[in-house]
Amino acid sequence: MNLIYEPWPWYIAGPMIALILFLLLMVGKNFGMSSNLRTLCTLCGAGKTTDFFKFDWKSQKWNLIVVLGAIIGGYIGAHFLSNTTAVVLNPETISDLKTFGFESAGTAYLPTEMFATTALGSLKNLVLLVLGGLFVGFGARYAGGCTSGHAISGLSNLQLPSLIAVIGFFIGGLTMIHLIFPILF
Amino acid sequence: MRTLIYLLIGILFGITMFKSEAASWFRIYEMFKFESFHMYGIIGSALVLGILVTQSIKRFDIKSFYGEKIVFTPKAKSFSRYLIGGIVFGLGWALAGACPGPMFTLVGAGYVPILVVIAAAIVGTFAYGIVKDKIPH
């Protein structure tokens, strides 16, 4: 029972994600989180500016409830199901993060340099958070899905477009970390 | 009743994202450095079982819990939108260290700056809606 308080290994987490996919399919829905960002645009009144956001947001209400659940789940996971939230990383990863100035590597869940509330005081950090978010939002909709919609749902349905998108995710991610991080940090 | 089911599925998803550390910026970095099997194990095992689930539902025409047909919509055929969109997404995923599911999980876990990322992701989605017809698909 104590195992639940430890970080979950991949062979628990992976099957849990497949279970979530299964449950959503069995209630007649699909697994795709980024479409909620579009729904949130519509809720903010974006339907007035372009047709892409003109749809009945109520048809997506179920997915917003899943999001609400994901928020609650994060609270439960962090506050009731964890003794410690420090992520045990590969020592090599830790040492290269330290050269980039991420001293919190190995002792925190997220880098405090970016995600502690005080980090909002750094203009550079704020710009990075905004850029990261913009790329995720723009890219997910351009590609028609994110990790859940393409890498899990789409690939499970053997969709070639999803494979192309996932290859894109990796080209982008590898470029960011191997080529752009050394410039940024 | 259905609302409660969606909420419970979401909670299960949120707990899984947090506890598996898939919502950790560090794990995403480590994944793109190929320095740990963890994230590949998560995505890989989810995928193998996901294929099994999806293909079984299609092959055996399994009905939903409500007795309805389960419909899979094929993704529209294209190359450029998936590759370019995917690359843009990947750049953001690695920088922010979170994709659109875990972002929300981190709100619940109490990380305030993730709200900036979410707000920017909504703006990014809006920007896509505006320029959609002018970029290659």
Cα-Cα end-to-end distance for chain B: 40
Share of chain A above pLDDT 90, in %: 96
Strand partners, B63: B69
Mark yes or no for CB contact A165/B36 under 8 Å.
no
Residue A150 distance to chain B (closest CA, Å)? 9
Is 0.90 surpassed by the pTM of this model? yes
Query: Quick check: A33 contacting B, CB < 8 Å?
Result: yes
Mean pLDDT of chain A: 96
d(CA A26, CA B76): 23
ipTM over 0.90? The verdict is yes
Mark yes or no for CB contact A169/B41 under 8 Å.
no
Classify the C-alpha dihedral B54-A145-A128-A40 as positive or negative. Answer: negative
Interface test with B, best of A118, A156, A162 (most B CBs within 10 A): A156
A chain contacts of residue B94, beta-carbon cutoff 8 Å: 172-174, 176-177
State mean pLDDT over A158-164. Answer: 98
> Which residues 62-121 of B are in CB contact (within 8 Å) with A?
64-66, 68, 70, 72, 74-79, 81-101, 103-114, 116-121
Residue A3 pLDDT > 90: no
Mark yes or no for CB contact A49/B2 under 8 Å.
no
Q: By CA distance, what is A62's nearest residue in B?
A: B6
What is the per-residue pLDDT across B83-115, written as a single tens digit (0 to 9) for each? 999 999 999 999 999 999 999 999 999 999 999
Q: Which amino acid is at B131?
A: V
Residue A1 pLDDT > 70: no
How many CA atoms does the CB half-sphere of A67 hold within 13 Å? 20
What is the per-residue pLDDT across A125-135, written as a single tens digit (0 to 9) for each? 999 999 999 99
d(CA B96, CA A139): 13
